[in-house]
Amino acid sequence: MTTTPMPQYRVLRGLLLVLAILAGIGGLVVLFDARIIFLAVPTPAEPFAHSFIVLLIQGFGAVIIGMAILLYAAARDPVRYISVIDAFIVILVLLSGIDVYAAETLHLGGMYPGHLILGRVAFRLILAIVLLSLRPRAVH
């Protein structure tokens, strides 16, 4: 049985599709070349720590690919997969909180300019607000 989403969710479907494509590409890049992360973060001195961090980052790449698949499913039928949209909104808000916490406690100003961190936080919160305003309301 196939369900067709209502045309009023066209903007939400397009936004979720773009997010799914970006997450999929990012997940594949991180999965197959986790060393790209070390362009932004200093490389650990110990070889074991370096290998462990690469494996950990590749694991996150696999999770990101899974999230991309869920976002693609939600893009196809946002009413049916409303819990995926809600989970993505929560993830965006939590990641914003983690960025603010890390900027305050770890003093990341030496590695990253503060305006870039705040810009990333603002972008994530704005995206969460847009998704929250576009999500289907009355689901029966």
Q: How far apart are CA 135 and CA 112, in angstroms?
A: 33
Kindly tell me if the per-residue pLDDT of 23 is higher than 60.
Answer: yes
Instruction: Give the model's pLDDT for residue 107.
Output: 74
Q: Which residues contact 135 (CB under 8 A, 6 or more apart)?
A: 12, 78, 82, 85, 86, 89
Domains of the chain by residue range: 8-80, 81-135
Cα-based distances in Å from 65 to 24, 71, 72, 75? 5, 10, 11, 15
pLDDT reported for residue 105:
83
Is the distance from CB of 26 to CB of 57 less than 8 angstroms?
Answer: no
Is pLDDT at 18 greater than 90 in this prediction?
yes
Per-residue pLDDT at 64 = 94
**How large is the C-alpha radius of gyration of the chain?**
18
Task: Report pLDDT digits (tens) over 60-78.
Answer: 889 999 999 999 999 999 9
Angle at alpha carbon of residue 84, lines to 81 and 87, rounded to 5°? 150
Give the pLDDT band (50/70/90) at residue 138.
low
- Per-residue model confidence as pLDDT tens digits over 77-103: 999 999 999 999 999 999 999 988 888
Contact status, residue 98 vs residue 125, Cβ threshold 8 Å: no
Q: Which two tokens stand for residue 25?
A: 């590409």
pLDDT at 7: 67
Q: Report the C-alpha dihedral over residues 77, 83, 88, 92, rounded to 10 degrees.
A: 140
pLDDT at residue number 54: 80
**Per-residue b/e over 96-117, b at no fewer than 16 CB within 10 Å?**
beebeeebeeeeeeeeeeeeeb
At residue 7, the 3 state secondary structure works out as helix
